[in-house]
Structure 1
Amino acid sequence: MQLTWLLLLATILLPTTLIIFFHGKKCCDATSTGGKKRRRLPPGPATVPVIGNLLWVTNSGMDIMRAVRRLHARHGPLLGLRMGSRFEVMVADRRLAHAALVESGAAMANRPEFVSRGLLGLNSATISNSNYGPTWRLFRRNFVAEVAHPARLRMFALARAAVLTELKDKLRRRHEDGVDGADGAGTVVETFQYAMFFLLVAMCFGEVLDERAVRDIATAQRDLLLYSSTKLRVFAFLPAVTTRLFAGRMKALVSMRQRLKAIFMPLINARRERHGDDGGEKKTTKLPHSYVDTLLGLRINDDDSNGGGERALTDDEVVALCSEFLNGGTDTTSTALQWIMAELVKNPTIQDKLHDEIKSISGINTVGEVTEDELHKMPYLKAVVMEGLRRHPPGHFVLPHAPADDMELGGCVIPKGTLVNFMVADIGMDETTWERPREFVPERFMPGGDGEGVDITGTREIKMMPFGAGRRICPGLGVATLHLEYFVANLVAAFEWREAEGEEVDVDGEKLEFTVVMAKPLRARLLPRGVVCV
């Protein structure tokens, strides 16, 4: 249906669009300020008026990523693409990525403007979608200081312990009941997703909720996320027209957002009431600190309010930031956790080496808990997590950037406001940087390895960038790595992870959902430590 409408639009608007397109292309390529010949735009494939490049129509999911890789091989590390009338640039070289994100960090720190965002009513500012400026700094500084700072992270230890207990219980029941397969074999990704969402909900709202409440939030959040990522792409093509043609999608989006708000507001108001008007606690909750608490205390400069003074965040703004919080840390972390555990199943000698380190530090022989303080003494655990993020980054692209002004990169001009993205997975698999890049080798991050001393932030140089790099690097980097180390260590301490009989683990097949997940979800045979396999 979508393709039919687009082809119809292309037929109707072809003559006018051709004139506009070729006139605009001539102006863009031929001249610049002062009438001088300016350098070319990044090269790319032929375009079709209205639609742009056909790869958006003829491909979907991972096929788009494979098509982009083929185009990079043909056109070089800088690739120019068009989606509708919007020009996009893909960067596949780590040095060009460093030049853009770090050396020219401030110049490349904006987000691209999407006309459809305003038409769809998606203008609530968040950390991820705000342009580089005061609002972004306020939101990011609040998150880094009040959630991601190690002292604050320790305040969520109760929630992490509760989630770990729940996760181990669910996995143990799989073993005992033989869920989804004989001998306790079963896919575990849904269990990981639930655990991570459970944890993020507790951190966000300050409550360790029951399973039904958590799943209600997860369903509403995921429905909105999946709908936005699969049904709204059409609005990138002539949004003034498509928002009328597909008005039903807009109504569905509004309905989903209202549903999410209705679920969030009682939890937000409960934290509001906790302090009362005078700042004194009126009632207690299970967690002493939450992300919502920090948002309720924020004051934002608003030129349109009360003569330009400061104001509190609106309910819609708080809801948007809470939704971003849950989105940002759930699928990414659970996806990375599944990939890492899959590699440990596939490579039992690595799993044994990791378990030996855990035992030597924590003294765990059967079932117990690795404490957060003990994680800092486990270099091989950190190497396993780093190799998992290099080999299987949850996102193969970062959130898109946009230059504040025309800028040069790699001998090409990138016009102001252009959507620019970076090939995260390809950079982490660069054969000129890594030995045997397709193999899972945690030892590369130990002394003497080709990854020794790698700066995951990319400040010195970019060799891998699972969290992005530069000024817009993911502020949850420290939160995510703590959670991965904590859960990987405890899952290996509690269980021996083996391949299920007849179920070979596929660590090469990929599928695009919100993140890049295993095409064949992990099915593992989990043996509680101390249990002899017969």
Structure 2
Amino acid sequence: MVLFLIWLFSFVLVRSILSKAFPSRKRLLPSPLALPIIGHLHLLKPIPHKALQRLSRRHGPIFRLSFGSVPFVVTSSPETAREFLRVHEGSFSNRPSTVAVRYLTYGAEDFSFAPYGPFWKFMKKLCMTELLGTRTLEQFFPVRHEEVETLIRWKSREDKLIDIGEELTRLASNIISRMTMGKRCSGTSAEAGEVRKMVDEVGALTGEFNLQDYIWFCKNIDLQGLGKRLRDVQARLDAMMEEILKEHEETRKKQVSACGPEATTRDIVDILLDFVEDERAKQRLSREGVKAFILEMFTTGTGTSAGVIQWALAELINHPAVLQRLQNEIDSVVGTGRLVEESDIPSLPYLQAIVKETLRLHPSGPLFTRESTEECTVGGYHIPANTRLIINVWAIGKDPNYWEEPLEFRPERFMLGEGKSSEVDVRGQYYQLLPFGSGRRSCPGVSLALQVIQAALASLVQCFDWKAGTGKNCKVDMTEAPGITLTFAHPFVCIPVARDLPFLSVYA
């Protein structure tokens, strides 16, 4: 017994001396108890961003999880988000790929999931200068205005409960389809119905949990049958995209032969086809790349704008004083003789504050992910290569260290002179508010999204008073649905009541 105690004391002493002389450089992140095979997947229910916020309160602003055999690091604080996205941006420049993404993007031929490298840089430049740049957005201003007018015209004939989500999705998809391919793909026709059905299927499949992505021994086994569904959707999507491209190619040939190249009416597909056909370009775009980008425009451009407008309108119905103040601002700036336009937005600071506050409380993407290409140290912790990063944007927007009364809808916090949050922007420079991401892989469509959201919301508020139901003082149920996206748990239906404005008779 004495010898054992002497050995144990010597072992502890030597280990202590060695640890001080050669301290470990790899400090591991805290982590909750994992289960065999599934890891921490059981901890994400029912709503992942809320579950991760609860875990961060227990384990700190940065902690480790494993989803099956895939390692993750999660952060819910602006400080560590800044360290990941700015200080170590080079280590986290990729987005993780899933089985669904690889099927639907022709092996990451799109912009969002392409690995960081020459092709991604080419697509980034193409997006910012040609596809979603200032000149292109200005070119399509009439399209956006016409679609908002269509929405207002439809509403002015109604005075009953409507599914506002359905109408706003139609608005957003009409804008995207007309900008992308020069025609509406969201109407009553069979073609429009098929397009919308496939876009909905893509959203469902990409958001569905797939065992092949996380459980190592299921990697090549399609236990859930998702592979079959993905192949079916991909085949139908490819046929639809091919038809769109062929239609554009035929039109381009006819117009060029008849009147010369300058006569061609250019939409985003035309711009993309220029880079497919240019044999002298240093970096050419493949046909599959065009198809992948078209799908990306529909899936990301439609849901984001429609969802944010819904949440904003719901908050305004539940806060009638805020709604009244916004109507007063629009009436004083625009008057009562015409519909509000995008050019009025810079003169409507309270409208901008309402949109910022909505994005803070209800970001369309509550979580976004990256993947490390090399090991690094963040917050004193060692992060191995091939670790996936989750930024909990939803939780960051409610951090009490940065936001007073973080759960309250208070647009005034973003008004100049109203406090430390007044100058905070949504474009990724302020890490306490990241609805569109930050850094080189932030959303390239932020300008388009803000234009659609602000103009449509302003028009709905200018033209109508809104009621949540037929009873007095009805409130919109703001409960979130389970899942990885931020949607209402119950259909958002409301009643638009036309205001007494002279110009509304034009839209009757």
Please give the range of the TM-score, normalised by the shorter of the 2 chains: 0.7 to 0.9
Cα 1:113/1:345, change in 2 over 3 Å = closer
Alignment partner of 2:147 out of 150, 160, 163: 163
The residue that corresponds to 1:292 in the other structure is: 269
1:185-216: CA deviation from partner (whole Å, max 9, x where unpaired): 23311111111111111111122456123332
CA contact (8 A) 2:41 2:68 kept: no
1:509 matched to 2:479? The reply is yes
Question: How far apart, CA to CA, are the structure 1 residues paired with 2:396 and 2:463?
Answer: 34
Question: How far apart, CA to CA, are the structure 1 residues paired with 2:100 and 2:348?
Answer: 47
Cα 1:387/1:332, change in 2 over 3 Å = same
1:352 matched to 2:352? The reply is no
The residue that corresponds to 1:79 in the other structure is: 63
Question: How far apart, CA to CA, are the structure 2 residues paired with 1:414 and 1:353?
Answer: 48
Question: How far apart, CA to CA, are the structure 2 residues paired with 1:51 and 1:403?
Answer: 22
| Secondary structure class of the residue paired with 2:73 | strand
Alignment partner of 2:180 out of 194, 204, 210: 204
| Secondary structure class of the residue paired with 1:420 | strand
- Residue pairs, 1:7-406, within 5 angstroms: 37-55=24-42, 60-62=45-47, 64-112=48-96, 114=98, 123-175=107-159, 184-209=160-185, 211=187, 212=189, 213-230=191-208, 233-238=210-215, 241-246=218-223, 248-276=225-253, 288-298=265-275, 312-364=284-336, 368-398=338-368, 400-406=369-375
Question: How far apart, CA to CA, are the structure 1 residues paired with 2:173 and 2:465?
Answer: 24
CA contact (8 A) 1:406 1:413 kept: yes
CA contact (8 A) 2:173 2:302 kept: yes
Cα 1:454/1:121, change in 2 over 3 Å = closer
Question: How far apart, CA to CA, are the structure 1 residues paired with 2:465 and 2:83?
Answer: 44
The residue that corresponds to 1:13 in the other structure is: none
The residue that corresponds to 2:505 in the other structure is: none
Deviation at 1:411, TM superposition (A): 1.3
Question: How far apart, CA to CA, are the structure 1 residues paired with 2:223 and 2:145?
Answer: 46
| Secondary structure class of the residue paired with 2:96 | coil
Question: How far apart, CA to CA, are the structure 2 residues paired with 1:124 and 1:409?
Answer: 28
| Secondary structure class of the residue paired with 1:364 | coil
The residue that corresponds to 1:16 in the other structure is: none
Question: How far apart, CA to CA, are the structure 2 residues paired with 1:50 and 1:475?
Answer: 37
Deviation at 1:156, TM superposition (A): 1.1
| Secondary structure class of the residue paired with 2:327 | helix
CA-atom RMSD, angstroms? 3.1
| Secondary structure class of the residue paired with 1:90 | strand
| Secondary structure class of the residue paired with 1:413 | strand
CA contact (8 A) 1:198 1:214 kept: no
The residue that corresponds to 2:19 in the other structure is: none
CA contact (8 A) 1:496 1:528 kept: yes
Is the radius of gyration larger for structure 1 or structure 2?
2
The residue that corresponds to 1:519 in the other structure is: 489
Q: Which amino acid in structure 2 is aligned with residue 473 of structure 1?
A: S
Deviation at 1:493, TM superposition (A): 1.4
Deviation at 1:288, TM superposition (A): 3.4
Question: How far apart, CA to CA, are the structure 1 residues paired with 2:282 and 2:134?
Answer: 29
Cα 1:320/1:61, change in 2 over 3 Å = farther
TM-score (norm 2): 0.86
Cα 1:228/1:482, change in 2 over 3 Å = same
Cα 1:119/1:313, change in 2 over 3 Å = closer
1:467-524: CA deviation from partner (whole Å, max 9, x where unpaired): 1112211111111111111101111111111232238334641114563012233222
Cα 1:207/1:117, change in 2 over 3 Å = closer
The residue that corresponds to 1:432 in the other structure is: 401
Question: How far apart, CA to CA, are the structure 2 residues paired with 1:446 and 1:189?
Answer: 28
Deviation at 1:530, TM superposition (A): 0.9
| Secondary structure class of the residue paired with 1:440 | coil
| Secondary structure class of the residue paired with 1:127 | coil
1:105-157: CA deviation from partner (whole Å, max 9, x where unpaired): 22321223557866898513222111222111111211121232222111112
Q: Which amino acid in structure 2 is aligned with residue 362 of structure 1?
A: V
Alignment partner of 2:377 out of 391, 408, 413: 408
After TM superposition, the structure 1 stretch with the greater mean CA deviation from structure 2, 120-129 or 271-280, is 271-280
Question: How far apart, CA to CA, are the structure 1 residues paired with 2:99 and 2:342?
Answer: 45
The residue that corresponds to 1:15 in the other structure is: none
The residue that corresponds to 2:425 in the other structure is: 455
Deviation at 1:317, TM superposition (A): 2.3
Q: Which amino acid in structure 2 is aligned with residue 266 of structure 1?
A: E
Question: How far apart, CA to CA, are the structure 1 residues paired with 2:64 and 2:264?
Answer: 48
Question: How far apart, CA to CA, are the structure 2 residues paired with 1:245 and 1:142?
Answer: 37
The residue that corresponds to 2:442 in the other structure is: 473
The residue that corresponds to 1:530 in the other structure is: 500
Higher relative contact order (CA 8 A, sep 6+): 2
Q: Which amino acid in structure 2 is aligned with residue 267 of structure 1?
A: I
Which runs of no fewer than 5 residues in structure 2 stay unpaired? 1-21, 502-508
Question: How far apart, CA to CA, are the structure 2 residues paired with 1:119 and 1:345?
Answer: 41
Aligned length: 477
1:369-428: CA deviation from partner (whole Å, max 9, x where unpaired): 212211221111111111111121111112x11222111111111111211011101111
Question: How far apart, CA to CA, are the structure 2 residues paired with 1:371 and 1:281?
Answer: 36
Question: How far apart, CA to CA, are the structure 1 residues paired with 2:45 and 2:221?
Answer: 24
CA contact (8 A) 2:372 2:386 kept: yes
CA contact (8 A) 1:428 1:463 kept: yes
Cα 1:119/1:198, change in 2 over 3 Å = closer
Alignment partner of 2:410 out of 441, 464, 475: 441
The residue that corresponds to 2:3 in the other structure is: none
CA contact (8 A) 2:64 2:71 kept: yes
Alignment partner of 2:455 out of 453, 472, 486: 486
TM-score (norm 1): 0.82
1:421-472: CA deviation from partner (whole Å, max 9, x where unpaired): 111011111111111111111111111223211132333x412110111221
Cα 1:505/1:420, change in 2 over 3 Å = same
CA contact (8 A) 2:26 2:381 kept: yes
Cα 1:470/1:214, change in 2 over 3 Å = same
CA contact (8 A) 2:103 2:231 kept: no
| Secondary structure class of the residue paired with 1:204 | helix
Question: How far apart, CA to CA, are the structure 2 residues paired with 1:439 and 1:186?
Answer: 27
Question: How far apart, CA to CA, are the structure 1 residues paired with 2:340 and 2:176?
Answer: 20
